[in-house]
Amino acid sequence: MDKVTPSRIAGNRLLFFALAMIGVFILLVPVSLTPGIFVWPEIMLLISCALVIRRPEYAPYWLIGFVFLISDFLLVRPIGLGAFIALLATEFLRRNRPAFVEMMFLSEWLGIFLLLLSAGVLRSVILFLTLAERIPLWAFGAQIGLSVVIYPLVVAFVGLVFKVTKIEETISHPVRRTV
Amino acid sequence: MATHNVDDVNFSRSLARIGVAIFLVFTLALFLLWRIDNPRAERIRTAMVNRVVPNMDWAMAPVSKAAQMVQDFQSYERIYSQNQELRRELQRMKAWREAALQLEQENARLLDLNKVKLNPKLSFISGKVLIDSGSRFRQSAIINLGRLDGVIEGWAAMDGLGLVGRIAGVGDSSSRVLFVTDTSSNIPVLIRPSNQRAILSGDNSDQPPLLFIENDQQIKPGDRIVTSGDGGVFPADLLVGQVTLGANSKYRTQLAADFRRLGFLRVIRYAPSAPINEPDRLIGPTLPSDIPLEDVDG
């Protein structure tokens, strides 16, 4: 396989950042100002998850936190909450990476579904506890459903753009090394 | 990989762990700040938007133009039916024009009798919509007018015809317009001709409901809705829209502003007159308190 040089890591981190900014940019273009029933999937979170499973060096925690913090600010979301949830989710993946790498794609998919669901529930619970405004339930369901449905596409996209695949060699788990 | 020192790896790993923890605490603290001291957090957000958005304008303009062109192109498909509809509407409008002309003449006569000045305090500045809120559950937009243009929080924003929203968050050269369709928007309105007061409360739909109508027997679909000016938030008599009957016979508002084509907004300059607090000072400017009354009399 191709070697991971520091310059490649830096380039791909830059690419990750640029992708996130393009995503925010697209959401902000004032095309339609009418309230609609259209829900966006959480594409950036999906990209982060797929990348953390495949090649965690490309999406370090500080980059993920920074990117989601910017989106929180620009997209009129509760400030800091999106970054908090995204960090928790991706760090969970990073800790349990070996398991996810060994999984078949279907089980990974299921895992991502459960992760998104718990992240969404956690967000709702936090917003509920702080008496903040929550998105309606149907939108919550639709968002998670849509996100889960497009996850394979996101994985294909991530594989194509960052040129990463799921390889067991990339696991550098200390337990594994000592065995 | 094998050349890596295990201690080295462990060290960088625990460093990352601390970093993650710090980041998590930091974001949670930010969220709590947003929750507890919302105005301050929103000011931070406004400052940030103000820094970022005007710089993105060069990139924003072609993209939004292209998207609008696509939408316009789609509307060609419906051009025939639209044409028919327009003809029918024109027919009706002719009748209205006649009525309006008569009313205008009558109005001119009456105004002449009264020598009434129509609220000379109202003037407006026009601004361009830069970005929308980027979320389906927040109805707002950023316009390119800010503190430097004299915009003040709370002013009304209209398109050419009807009320769009109010200014909520002012940066130096940009400000946020919170639409009447947003869930946190509540506006006191007056329903003409029966003069019923109500609250226009946004709910993320394009026909916001009317709440707390005094007597909903007296209003019917088609009645005009204008701002009432209660609470000194908005000037009175800005057109909002028409009453329609929504599902389960709740009264809703057909907004007069066309949110589909919101390129430019008018921000209404408005300085409410000083409230009347004491019975002995109904008219006239507030006098400085350090002038003795005898001097004024003398």
Can you tell me the distance from the alpha carbon of B2 to that of B258, in angstroms, rounded to the nearest whole number?
65
Token code pair at residue B265: 């907004």
Which of B13, B23, B204 is the best substitution to test chain A (most A C-beta atoms within 10 A)? B23
Q: Which residues of chain A neighbour B184 with C-beta distances below 8 Å?
A: 133
Structure token digits, residue A67? 């990117």
pLDDT band at B22 (very low <50, low <70, confident <90, very high): very high
Least confident of A168-177, B143-152, B175-184: A168-177
Of A103 and A37, which is predicted with more confidence?
A: A103
pLDDT at B278: 66
Of residues B190 and B295, the one with the higher pLDDT is B190
**Residues B234, B219 contacting (CB under 8 angstroms):** no
Give me Rg for the CA atoms of chain A: 17
Is pLDDT at A115 greater than 80 in this prediction?
Answer: yes
Dist CA B278 CA B203 (whole Å): 39
Omega within 30 of 0 (cis) for the link into B235: no
Average pLDDT, chain A: 84
d(CA A60, CA B113): 76
> Beta partners for B267?
B125, B157
Percent of chain A with pLDDT over 90: 44
- CA of B28, closest CA in chain A: separation in Å? 6
Q: Which residues of A are less than 8 Å from B33 in CB distance? A: 79-80
pLDDT tier for residue A157 given thresholds of 50, 70 and 90: very high
The pLDDT, as a whole number, for residue B296 is 47
B132–A29 C-beta distance less than 8 A:
yes
- Chain-chain contact of A177 with B129 (C-beta, under 8 angstroms): no
Residues of A with CB under 8 A from a CB of B: 24-25, 27-40, 60-62, 65, 69, 73-81, 83-84, 87-88, 91, 126, 130, 132-133, 135-136, 139, 172, 174, 177
Measured from the Cβ of residue B149, the count of other Cβ atoms closer than 10 Å reads 16
Confidence of residue B98 (pLDDT cuts 50, 70, 90): confident
* For the ranges A5-14, A108-117, B3-12, B73-82, the one whose mean pLDDT is highest: A108-117
The yes-or-no verdict on residue A177 having pLDDT over 50 is no
Nearest CA-CA distance, residue A134 and chain B, Å = 9
Q: Which residues contact B168 (CB under 8 A, 6 or more apart)?
A: B140, B153, B154, B176, B177, B178
Predicted TM-score of the model (pTM): 0.69
pLDDT at position A179: 35
Percent of chain A with pLDDT strictly greater than 70: 87
Higher pLDDT, B112 or A116: A116
Q: Which residues pair with B235 in a beta bridge?
A: none
B36: left (phi over 0), alpha (psi -120 to 50) or beta: alpha
Task: Nearest chain A residue to B49 by CA: give it.
Answer: A74
Q: What local confidence, expressed as pLDDT, does residue B297 receive?
A: 47
Which of A32-36, A73-77, B4-8, B282-286 is most confident? A73-77
pLDDT band at A82 (very low <50, low <70, confident <90, very high): very high
Residue B298 pLDDT more than 80? Answer: no
Min Cα distance B71 → chain A (Å) is: 9
Of all residues in chain B, what percent carry a pLDDT higher than 70? 85
Specify the 3-state DSSP secondary structure of A38.
Answer: coil
Inter-chain touch A31–B27, beta carbons under 8 Å: no
User: Which residues in chain A are closer than 8 Å to B4, comparing Cβ atoms?
Assistant: 172
- pLDDT confidence of residue A1: 46
Residue B39 has pLDDT above 90, yes or no: no
d(CA B229, CA B217): 23
Beta bridge partners of A65: none
* Per-residue model confidence (pLDDT) at position A174: 47
Residue A79 and residue B31: Cβ atoms within 8 Å? yes
Q: Given pLDDT bands bounded at 50, 70 and 90, which one contains residue B283?
A: low
Q: Looking at A87-96, B2-11, B94-103, B289-298, which range is the least confident one?
A: B289-298
Q: What is the rounded distance in angstroms from the CA atom of residue B253 to the CA atom of residue B208?
A: 6
pLDDT for residue B78: 77
pLDDT (tens digit per residue) in B159-199: 878 899 999 989 998 999 999 999 888 999 999 888 889 99
Per residue in A95-104, pLDDT (tens digit) is: 888 888 888 8
Amino acid at residue number B94: K
Average pLDDT over residues B203-216: 87
The arithmetic mean of pLDDT across residues B238-256, rounded, is: 87
* Helix spans in chain B (H): 6-36, 38-76, 79-114, 293-297
Residues of B whose CB is below 8 A from A37: 136
Choose the closest CB to B133 out of A25, A76, A91.
Answer: A76
The alpha carbon of residue A97 is apart from the nearest alpha carbon of chain B, in Å, by 14
* Residue B16 CA, distance from chain mean position: 45
| Mean pLDDT, rounded, of chain B | 81
Tell if the CB–CB gap between A33 and B136 is shorter than 8 Å.
no
Instruction: Give the whole-angstrom CA distance, residue A74 versus residue B134.
Output: 8
What pLDDT does residue A67 have? Answer: 93
SS3 for B189? strand
- Predicted confidence (pLDDT) at residue B280 exceeds the cutoff of 70: no
